């Protein structure tokens, strides 16, 4: 469905991604792991068109979309949960959620709003509060809910569990699985490797801006070497 | 009384139209649009041509003005703003200044400077309400502006595109990720705001029965004041602000006199902003939640100029006057250096993230201070000069103190108002300042036995003072104090959390900046021997801000260079006579386009919206000298 | 009386009681964690202690002195440093300058009389800065040996603080903070807080965005700075392993109110806490 081919991305003179390739197939959950500053967010931004690579291709549904602007990509069914949430601070919770449905024209937006609010009762209590005053975790819920509102085919999530309380971390991963079961493809950057790999089909590991490893999630999860070196598993 | 109120209402409604446009563009592009007034002027002329000259009916002319100006707005967005994607956030502001220059001077060329009568063959039907006459035009103006506000409100809050427009203003990258075509939204908003300006221009022309090319600047200012009075980001606020401004002006004109009209308007503005920094209806930003980062100025360190280049330039500057027949050049360069002092003062303030449009006021304080101390109090120049600098520092802090709680655009306009208050006070305090007649015969300085005659001694003195100021400010910038000011610029709340009394340090920056600017004022006064209040216009403040931005956002040598350049450019363009200011505008536009980071600013390595980026600006060999950070557990 | 003493603290936003009659104390040298579900009011407690919001009710005392409602800058001057949950570095300043700004309150050669001003009466506090600040500006320009000496010390201090983070920050020393990755920006915040040489350190989710190994690394780092600097720390964190291993005591908030307090082991098995916060996995 989506693939990156030999992406090289730069910030000014500094190269952040080196020949990164990856593939996300229809209906999968794919997770991207890696240490801090390894280029995870940059990969995500390249997929979304916020970073323009200097070399390589981004392909969606067999079509080269490397030069396509972000809004056009969103129209083709991409949605995102950005790093650090990026809630619209002066819009209410409700308005923020509706922004998620910006590209939709159908009548079912109201139903979806109700469904998302059922998923996150806290947001339901706070429909009129402005996004900027929500607590960190509440904002994260809002960012998740906002992405669901677009009825996307593929959601890119940059650390969706960041700032969530343990109980909600479990719930949010269950939610990701549910959403996936309904046919939405998911590409997720996660630090919580253990949980992420346990729900993912396949995984990739970035290191210093280059793809170090890839494979079925179960394989990555059970390879002790990988657990120790790449997944930050603490040798017990 | 009631007559005045009605009059104020009508005037207010026109301001409302302008304010709405300002608020709209501000809320979408986070941009104060300086070209607004010029579009307004063009609109007035379109209306004038169609109605007065070609005899079109009012409705058709309004429609045409709206359409024409709307297209012009879209064009401005395309040409002046869209290419600046990823540039420092201040660059677009500069670009709109350039556009204003171009349009105003185009207007001057096309329509000639004289005022023209604007006769609209409207029915003279009038309605008597409780002893007051309300004209058809008055009602029409009210209806049109209310209609526009209503329509816009519906658009912004009840349409999809409208919410996209608002989202784009709050977080551009996040809006993109929701599928909002941000460019298109901005283009649309520029079109709408300009169409409103076109309508407002035509209506104001009819209202005053005249049009002239200079009407743009003051109209733009009025729109901005009105928008700020209300609280710039909301429509009802623009309505309230516009109507309030209309009332103030109309009542002040009737009861105190025409010359107090602007003074009254600015006093009320400063007062309201001091009491309610977010405007009458504006919502206060939630403390602690909204990051205030880099509203205007935020960059890495500016580029360093090699010492050899600096020495070379200084040497050339010292030797230049020795060339025979260089009087004229020296005179021009002297003025350039005076502006360099004004710009250096502002540069310091801007380094703390504070945008001031009040340099004209400090310029005036320095000039009048030194002139009065020498001419009236008989002090020698060498005492009057530092005395006027200290006076300016004290006055600068005292005046700006209530405004220090303000941020970004609010502060900019409040300082503009303060400067206006200064010049209006000078104008009206005839006993001390000789009022509109100005001060004559300001004595020339004396150094040892040498009396300053001609431009050269002033030039050398200015050169020394600029060098000393530049050196001082550079040292200051590299010290802990410089970092402290930088921290305030980046995030005031975080700065406070680290023990920085932001109010005090901002005041310090204002005081020091005022002192430096006042030195420029004093030099100017003595060299020209005559000053009058009408010299110190808001246009000077805009020009000085332009210099600072063009210099490279915080780069001291850059600011000096751009001050001299911007003063010298029009002189170089003298051969093209009438078109030279037009050319100036075009050059400015090109400069911003190709060096959005300023003359000596660094390449914009990354856009400044936190963390999201534009990449691929330059392309050195890939991978060279890059040291990616260590990932995860490596090396442990 | 404990080092940090919070009594009956409350804060309402409109109808919402974000913090509801919370009392807690932290002894000198202790590390206390504040945990609780999202929106429980943890960050708001930090905002109240640091004077970002005035409390609706209650008192805060630091080292036996009442600091309730004190302006934010003065709270810092008394030795309280904090990091922000949403990560607020000075984006346009270099990494090193971020840290140097953190040292603001204890620079006395460059900021003569600053400590004195805080001890003056209300009138003196208004007047004195105007005498002090021009002097500070003059020193910044002239840079007499005393100031230069302090600058040099500051540079060394900055280097050693950044050095605590190993190779993560030192290579980026000169780069603007905004060019760092998310987690590294948060490390810069911690470095900046350390530069203040705090007596009380407030950390708001320092490990957000870090994987287990990195979290472990930061945990060691927190333990290290605690030992080295004898810090008193109040910590907000959702990563339980870290909380359990580092804390002397844990306080649990829910809906603004304190629902449990005790040693990590006690809190972990408290049914209320499991219900409100941990969920079934615990
Ligand atoms: N705006 C920017 N300008 C310059 N360099 C940048 C910018 N953004 C990121 N980088 C650099 O690119 C590299 C990769 O950053 P990225 O944000 O992709 O890391 P990440 O894997 O998401 O890390 P984290 O886990 O901390 O979020 C880092 O070295 C970072 O410093
Ligand atoms: N300025 C404000 N206006 C209105 N409500 C607010 C404001 N600040 C915080 N709140 C609300 O108060 C509650 C407590 O917020 P706080 O940020 O303290 O939560 P928290 O415990 O830090 O949660 P998290 O773990 O998600 O960061 C939240 O429900 C939040 O929405
Ligand atoms: Mg990241
Ligand atoms: Mg919080």
User: What is the value of ipTM here, to two decimals?
Assistant: 0.93
Question: For B199-266, what is the HEC assignment?
Answer: HHHHHHHHHHCEECCCHHHHHHHHHHHHHHHHCCCCHHHHHHHHHHHHHHHHHHHHHCCHHHHHHHHH
Which residue ranges does chain A devote to CATH 3.40.50.300? Answer: 1-77+155-236
Phi, psi (5° rounding) for residue B424? -65, -35
pLDDT of residue A234: 53
Number of Cβ within a 10 Å radius of residue B376: 12
Collect all residues of chain A within an 8 Å Cβ-Cβ radius of residue C276.
Answer: 167
| CB A209 within 8 Å of CB B628 | yes
User: Taking CB atoms and an 8 Å limit, are B618 and A206 in contact across chains?
Assistant: no
Does residue C41's CB lie within 6 angstroms of at least one atom of ligand 2?
yes
- Strand-pairing partners, residue B522, are none
- In tens, the pLDDT along C37-56 reads 999 999 999 999 999 989 99
Q: For residues A44 and A8, is the Cβ–Cβ distance under 8 A?
A: no
Cα dihedral B256, B257, B262, B264 in deg (nearest 10): 0
Q: Is A137 in the pocket of ligand 2 (CB under 6 A)?
A: yes
- Per DSSP bridges, beta strands C80-82 and C200-204 are parallel
Which pLDDT belongs to residue B634? 29
Q: What is the mean pLDDT of residues B276-297?
A: 53
Instruction: Tell me yes or no: is domain A1-77+155-236 CATH 3.40.50.300.
Output: yes
User: What is the average per-residue pLDDT within B4-9?
Assistant: 82
Q: Is the per-residue pLDDT at B473 higher than 90?
A: yes
pLDDT in tens, A51-96: 999 989 999 999 999 999 999 999 999 999 988 788 988 889 999 9
**Which residue in B has a C-alpha nearest to residue C74's C-alpha?**
B499
Please list the helix, strand and coil fractions of chain C in percent, rounded to the nearest 5, in that order. Answer: 45, 20, 30
Structure tokens at B579: 């078109």
Of A48, A50, A44, nearest in space to A20 by CA: A44
Answer whether C119 touches A (CB < 8 Å): no
Look at residue B636 and tell me whether its pLDDT is greater than 60: no
Ligand 3 center from residue C279 Cα (angstroms): 27
Q: What is the DSSP code string of C190-242? A: HHHHHHT--SEEEEESTTTT--HHHHHHHHHHHHHHHHHH--EEEEE-S-HHH
B616 or A28: which leads in pLDDT: A28
- Which ligand 1 atom sits nearest the alpha carbon of residue B605? 3
Predicted local confidence at residue B89, as pLDDT = 66
Closest by Cα among B267, B218, B266, B261 to B104: B218
> Residue B627: its pLDDT value, please?
24
Determine which residue's CA is closest to atom 18 belonging to ligand 2: C41
- Choice from A138, A141, A171 to test ligand 2 binding pocket (greatest atom count within 8 A of CB): A138
Burial category of C12 from C-beta neighbours within 10 Å (exposed 0-12, middle 13-18, buried 19 and up): middle
Per-residue model confidence (pLDDT) at position C21: 93
Query: What distance in Å separates residue B603's CA from the closest CA in chain C?
Result: 13
pLDDT surpassing 90 at residue C92: no
Query: For residue A170, which residues of chain C lie inside 8 Å, CB to CB?
Result: 279-281
| Helix, strand or coil, per DSSP, at residue C21 | strand
Bigger pLDDT: B265 or A153?
Answer: A153
pLDDT on residue B130: 64
pLDDT score, position B603 = 53
How many angstroms separate the CA of residue A85 from the nearest CA in chain B? 9
Q: When comparing pLDDT for B393 and B291, which is higher? A: B393
Higher pLDDT, A82 or B588: A82
For the question of whether the overall pTM of this predicted structure is more than 0.90, the answer is no
Task: Decide if C80 contacts C198 (C-beta within 8 A).
Answer: yes
CA angle C273–C278–C282, rounded 5-degree value: 105
Nearest CA in chain C to A229: C213
Pairing of strands B116-117, C249-254: unpaired
| Ligand 2 atom closest to the CA of A138, numbered from 1 | 26
Q: Is the pLDDT of residue B447 over 80?
A: yes
Terminal Cα distance for chain B, rounded: 83
The answer to whether residues B247 and B9 touch, using CB atoms and an 8 Å cutoff, is yes
Rg of chain A over Cα atoms, rounded to whole angstroms, equals 17
Residues 212-241 of C with CB under 8 A from B: 213-214
**A42-51, A58-67, C137-146, C269-278: segment of lowest average pLDDT:** C269-278
Of B254, B280, B213, which Cα lies nearest the Cα of B37? B213
Ligand 3 center–CA A160 separation, angstroms: 11
Closest CA to B340 of B147, B469, B483: B469
Which tokens hold the place of C256? 């603004």
**What count of residues does chain A have?**
236
Whether ligand 2 lies within 6 angstroms of the CB of C239 is answered as no
Rounded to an integer, what distance in angstroms lies between the CA atom of residue C275 and that of residue C282? 10
Mean pLDDT of A118-124: 91
Residues in chain B closer than 8 A to C101 (CB atoms): 483-484, 486-487, 495, 498, 500
The count of C-alpha atoms lying within 13 angstroms of the C-alpha of C16, restricted to the half-sphere facing its C-beta, is 16
Interval C81-90 mean pLDDT: 89
Q: How far apart are CA C243 and CA C266, in angstroms?
A: 13
Worst-scoring range by mean pLDDT, A186-190, B25-29, B358-362, B600-604? B600-604
Q: Assign B439 to helix, strand or coil.
A: strand
CA distances from C105 to B11, C67, C241 (A): 52, 17, 34
The span from the CA of B192 to the CA of B195, in Å, is 5
Which helix (H) or strand (E) is B63 found in, with range?
A: helix B58-76
Nearest residue to B455 (alpha-carbon basis) of B310, B338, B560, B371: B338
Alpha-carbon distances of B254 from B10, B268, C169, rounded to whole Å: 15, 17, 66
Question: Looking at per-residue confidence, does B620 or A210 come out higher?
Answer: A210
Q: Tokens 């409207």 map to which residue? A: B122
Whole-angstrom distance, CA of residue A119 vs CA of residue A142: 11
Is residue B615 scored above 60 in pLDDT? no
How confident is the model over B534-582, as pLDDT tens digits?
Answer: 899 888 888 898 888 888 767 889 899 989 988 888 777 777 667 777 8
pLDDT score of A60:
93
What does DSSP say about strands C57-62 and C65-66: parallel, antiparallel, or unpaired?
A: antiparallel
Q: Do B173 and A50 touch (CB under 8 A)?
A: yes
Compute the residue count for chain C: 282
What pLDDT is stored for residue A127 in this prediction? 92
Ligand of minimum distance to the alpha carbon of C207? 1
The token duo for A21 is 């390739």
Using CA coordinates, name the residue in chain B closest to C126: B504
Residue from C33, C183, C211 whose CB has the most chain A CBs within 10 Å, to mutate: C211
Alpha-carbon span B294 to C92, nearest angstrom: 8
Parallel, antiparallel or unpaired: strands A185-189 and A154-158: parallel
pLDDT band of residue B295 (cuts 50, 70, 90) is: very low
The shortest CB-CB distance from A132 to any of B289, B614, B618 is to B289
pLDDT at B86: 67
Give me the long-range contacts of B80-85 (CB less than 8 A, separation at least 24).
B80/B35, B80/B589, B80/B592, B81/B29, B81/B31, B81/B186, B81/B190, B82/B183, B82/B186, B82/B187, B83/B593, B84/B592, B84/B593, B84/B596, B85/B614
Asked if C100's CB is within 8 angstroms of B294's CB, the reply is no
Tokens representing B164? Answer: 């996209």
What is the mean pLDDT of the segment spanning B308-321?
Answer: 86
**Exposure string over A28-56, b if 16+ CB within 10 A, otherwise e:** bbbbbbbbbbbbbbbbbbbbbbbbbbebb
Decide if C92 and B611 are in contact by the 8 Å CB cutoff: no
- What is the residue whose two structure tokens read 């209906």? A27
Residue of B nearest to A210 (CA): B628
- Enumerate residues 6+ apart whose C-beta is below 8 A from B227: B18, B19, B20, B22, B23, B26, B237, B238, B241
Q: How far is CA B90 from the centre of its chain?
A: 11
CA distance B139 to B271: 31
C-alpha span between B565 and B543 (Å, rounded): 12
Ligand 2 center to C208 CA (angstroms): 17
Chain B interface mutation, best of C101, C187, C207, C211, highest count of B Cβ atoms under 10 Å: C101
How far is CA C230 from its chain centroid? 15
Q: Of A71 and B587, which is predicted with more confidence?
A: A71
Neighbours of chain B (3+ CB pairs under 8 A): A, C
Q: How confident is the model at residue B408 (pLDDT cuts 50, 70, 90)?
A: low
Residues 29-88 of A with CB under 8 A from C: 33, 35-37, 41, 83-84
Cα(B516)–Cα(C268) distance, rounded to whole angstroms? 63
> Buried b vs exposed e over B108-132: b needs ≥16 C-beta within 10 Å?
beebeeeebebebeeeeeeeeeeee
Quote the tokens at residue A222. 């059970």
Interface test with B, best of A19, A37, A50 (most B CBs within 10 A): A50
pLDDT higher than threshold 60 for residue B635: no
Ligand 2 nearest atom to the CA of residue C53, by list position: 1
- Judge contact between B147 and A67, C-beta under 8 A: no
Task: Tell me whether residues A37 and C181 touch, CB distance under 8 A.
Answer: yes
Determine, for residues C211 and A167 on separate chains, whether the beta-carbon distance falls below 8 Å: no
In this prediction, residue B302 has a pLDDT band, given cuts at 50, 70 and 90, of low
> B388 near B331, Cβ under 8 Å?
no
3-class DSSP state of B355: coil
Residues 38-97 of B with CB under 8 A from C: none
Tell me what the pLDDT averaged over chain C comes to: 89
Residue B612 is classified by DSSP as -
Is B493 an interface residue toward C (CB < 8 Å)? yes
Average pLDDT on C116-125 reads 76
Chain A segment 138-177 residues within 8 A of C by beta carbon are 138, 140-141, 159, 162-171
Return the SS3 of A26.
coil
Task: Specify whether the backbone of C51 is left (phi greater than 0), alpha (psi in -120 to 50) or beta.
Answer: left
d(CA B233, CA B279): 9
**Pocket residue to mutate for ligand 1, from A8, A9, A11, A32, most atoms within 8 A of Cβ:** A11
CA–CA dist B216, C235 (Å, integer): 57
Inter-chain residue contact B481 with C136, CB threshold 8 Å: yes
Chain B residues inside the 8 Å CB shell of A90: 166, 170, 283
Q: Where are the alpha helices (DSSP H) in B276-380?
A: 307-319, 327-351, 359-375
Q: pLDDT exceeding 90 applies to what percent of chain B?
A: 26
Percent of chain A with pLDDT over 70: 95
The answer for residues whose C-beta is within 8 angstroms of residue B373's C-beta and 6 or more apart is B379, B383, B384, B387, B388
- On the question of pLDDT at B623 being above 60, the answer is no
Q: What are the tens digits of pLDDT across the range B191-237?
A: 988 998 899 899 888 888 888 888 887 787 788 788 877 766 667 77
Question: What are the tens digits of pLDDT across the range B17-63?
Answer: 888 877 777 766 667 777 888 999 999 999 999 988 888 888 899 99
Query: Is the CB of residue B634 below 6 angstroms from any atom belonging to ligand 2?
Result: no
């Amino acid at each position: 469905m989506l693939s990156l081919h030999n992406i090289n991305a730069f910030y000014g003179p500094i190269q952040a991604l080196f020949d990164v390739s990856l593939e996300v197939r229809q209906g999968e959950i794919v997770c991207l792991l890696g240490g801090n500053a390894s280029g995870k967010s940059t990969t995500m931004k390249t997929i979304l068109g916020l970073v323009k690579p200097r070399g390589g291709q981004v392909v969606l549904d067999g079509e080269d979309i490397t030069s396509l602007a972000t809004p056009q990509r969103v129209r083709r069914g991409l949605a995102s949960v950005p790093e650090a949430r990026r809630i619209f601070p002066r819009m209410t919770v409700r308005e923020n959620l509706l922004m998620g449905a910006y590209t939709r024209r159908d009548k079912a937006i109201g139903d979806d709003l109700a469904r998302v609010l059922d998923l996150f009762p806290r947001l339901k209590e706070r429909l009129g509060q402005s996004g900027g005053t929500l607590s960190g975790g509440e904002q994260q819920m809002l960012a998740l809910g906002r992405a669901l509102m677009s009825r996307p085919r593929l959601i890119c999530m940059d650390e969706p569990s960041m700032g969530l309380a343990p109980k909600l971390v479990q719930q949010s991963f269950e939610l990701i699985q549910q959403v996936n079961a309904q046919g939405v493809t998911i590409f997720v950057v996660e630090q919580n490797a253990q949980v992420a790999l346990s729900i993912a089909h396949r995984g990739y590991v970035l290191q210093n801006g280059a793809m170090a490893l890839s494979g079925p999630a179960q394989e990555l999860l059970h390879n002790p070497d990988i657990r120790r070196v790449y997944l930050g598993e603490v040798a017990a | 009384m009631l007559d005045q109120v009605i009059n104020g209402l009508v005037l207010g409604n026109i301001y409302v139209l302008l304010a709405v446009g300002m608020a709209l563009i501000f809320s979408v592009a986070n941009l104060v649009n300086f070209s607004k007034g010029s579009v307004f002027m063009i609109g007035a002329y379109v209306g004038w041509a169609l109605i007065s000259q070609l005899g079109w009916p009012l409705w058709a002319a309004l429609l045409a003005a709206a359409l024409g100006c709307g297209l012009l707005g879209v064009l401005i967005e395309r040409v002046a703003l869209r290419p600046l994607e990823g540039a420092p956030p201040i660059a677009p502001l500069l670009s709109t200044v350039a556009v204003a220059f171009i349009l105003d001077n185009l207007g001057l060329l096309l329509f000639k400077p004289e005022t023209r009568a604007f006769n609209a063959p409207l029915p003279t039907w009038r309605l008597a309400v409780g002893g007051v006459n309300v004209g058809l035009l008055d009602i029409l103006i009210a209806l049109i502006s209310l209609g526009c506000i209503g329509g816009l409100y519906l658009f912004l809050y009840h349409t999809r595109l409208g919410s996209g427009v608002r989202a784009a203003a709050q977080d551009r990258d996040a809006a993109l990720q929701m599928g909002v075509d941000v460019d298109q939204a901005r283009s649309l908003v520029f079109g709408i705001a300009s169409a409103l300006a076109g309508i407002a221009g035509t209506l104001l022309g009819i209202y005053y029965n005249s049009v002239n090319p200079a009407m743009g600047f003051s109209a733009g200012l009025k729109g901005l004041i009105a928008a700020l009075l209300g609280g710039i980001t909301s429509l009802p606020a623009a309505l309230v602000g516009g109507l309030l401004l209309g009332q103030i002006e109309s009542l002040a004109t009737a009861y105190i006199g025409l010359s107090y009209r602007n003074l009254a308007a600015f006093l009320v503005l400063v007062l309201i902003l001091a009491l309610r920094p977010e405007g009458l209806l504006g919502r206060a930003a939630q403390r602690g939640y909204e990051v205030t980062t880099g509203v205007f100025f935020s960059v890495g360190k500016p580029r360093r100029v090699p010492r050899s280049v600096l020495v070379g330039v200084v040497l050339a500057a010292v030797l230049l006057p020795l060339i025979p027949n260089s009087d004229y050049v020296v005179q021009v360069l002297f003025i350039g250096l005076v502006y360099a002092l004004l710009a250096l003062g502002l540069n310091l303030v801007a380094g703390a993230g504070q945008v001031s449009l009040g340099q004209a006021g400090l310029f005036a304080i320095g000039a009048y201070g030194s002139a009065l101390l020498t001419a009236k109090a008989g002090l020698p120049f060498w005492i009057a000069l530092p005395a006027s600098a200290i006076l300016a520092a004290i006055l600068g802090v005292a005046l700006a103190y209530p405004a220090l709680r303000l941020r970004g655009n609010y502060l900019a306009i409040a300082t503009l108002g303060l400067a206006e208050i200064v010049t209006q006070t000078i104008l009206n305090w005839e006993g001390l300042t000789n009022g509109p007649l100005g001060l004559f015969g300001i004595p020339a300085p004396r150094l040892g036995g040498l009396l300053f005659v001609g431009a050269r001694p002033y030039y050398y003195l200015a050169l020394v003072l600029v060098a000393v100021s530049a050196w001082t400010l550079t040292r200051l910038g590299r010290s802990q104090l410089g970092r402290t000011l930088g921290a305030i610029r980046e995030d005031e709340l975080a700065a406070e959390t680290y023990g920085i009394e932001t109010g005090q340090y901002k005041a310090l920056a204002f005081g020091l900046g005022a002192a430096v600017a006042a030195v420029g004022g004093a030099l100017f006064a003595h060299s020209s021997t005559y000053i009058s209040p009408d010299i110190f216009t808001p246009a000077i403040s805009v020009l000085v801000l332009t210099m600072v931005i063009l210099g490279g956002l915080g780069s001291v040598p850059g600011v000096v260079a751009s001050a001299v350049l911007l003063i010298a450019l029009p002189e170089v363009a003298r051969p093209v006579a009438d078109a030279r200011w037009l050319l100036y505008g075009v050059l400015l536009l090109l400069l911003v386009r190709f060096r959005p980071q300023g003359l000596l600013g660094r390449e914009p390595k990354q856009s400044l919206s936190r963390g999201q980026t534009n990449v691929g600006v330059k392309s050195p060999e890939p991978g060279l000298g890059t040291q990616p950070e260590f990932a995860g557990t490596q090396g442990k | 009386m404990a080092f940090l003493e919070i009594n009956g603290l409350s804060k309402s936003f409109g109808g919402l009681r974000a913090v509801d009659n919370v009392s807690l104390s932290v002894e000198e040298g202790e590390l206390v964690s504040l945990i609780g579900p999202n929106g429980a009011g943890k960050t708001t407690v930090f905002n109240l202690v640091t004077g970002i919001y005035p409390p609706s009710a209650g008192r805060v005392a630091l080292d036996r002195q009442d600091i309730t409602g004190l302006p934010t800058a003065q709270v810092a001057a008394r030795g309280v440093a904090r990091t922000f949950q949403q990560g607020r570095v000075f984006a346009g300043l270099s990494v090193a300058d971020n840290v140097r700004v953190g040292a603001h309150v204890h620079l006395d050669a460059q900021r003569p009389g600053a400590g004195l001003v805080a001890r003056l009466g209300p009138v003196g506090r208004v007047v004195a800065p105007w005498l002090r600040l021009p002097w500070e500006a003059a020193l910044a320009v002239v840079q007499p040996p005393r100031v230069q000496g302090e600058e040099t010390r500051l540079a060394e201090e900055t280097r050693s603080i950044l050095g605590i983070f190993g190779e993560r920050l030192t290579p980026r020393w000169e780069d603007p903070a905004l060019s760092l990755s998310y987690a590294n920006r948060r490390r810069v915040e911690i470095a900046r807080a350390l530069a203040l040489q705090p007596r009380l350190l407030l950390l708001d989710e320092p490990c957000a965005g870090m994987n287990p190994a990195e979290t472990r690394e930061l945990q060691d780092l927190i333990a290290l700075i605690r030992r080295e600097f004898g810090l008193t720390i109040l910590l907000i964190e959702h990563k339980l392993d870290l909380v359990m291993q580092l804390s002397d005591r844990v306080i649990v908030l829910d809906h603004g109110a304190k629902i449990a307090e005790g040693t990590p082991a006690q809190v972990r098995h408290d049914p209320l806490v499991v219900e409100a916060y941990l969920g079934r996995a615990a």
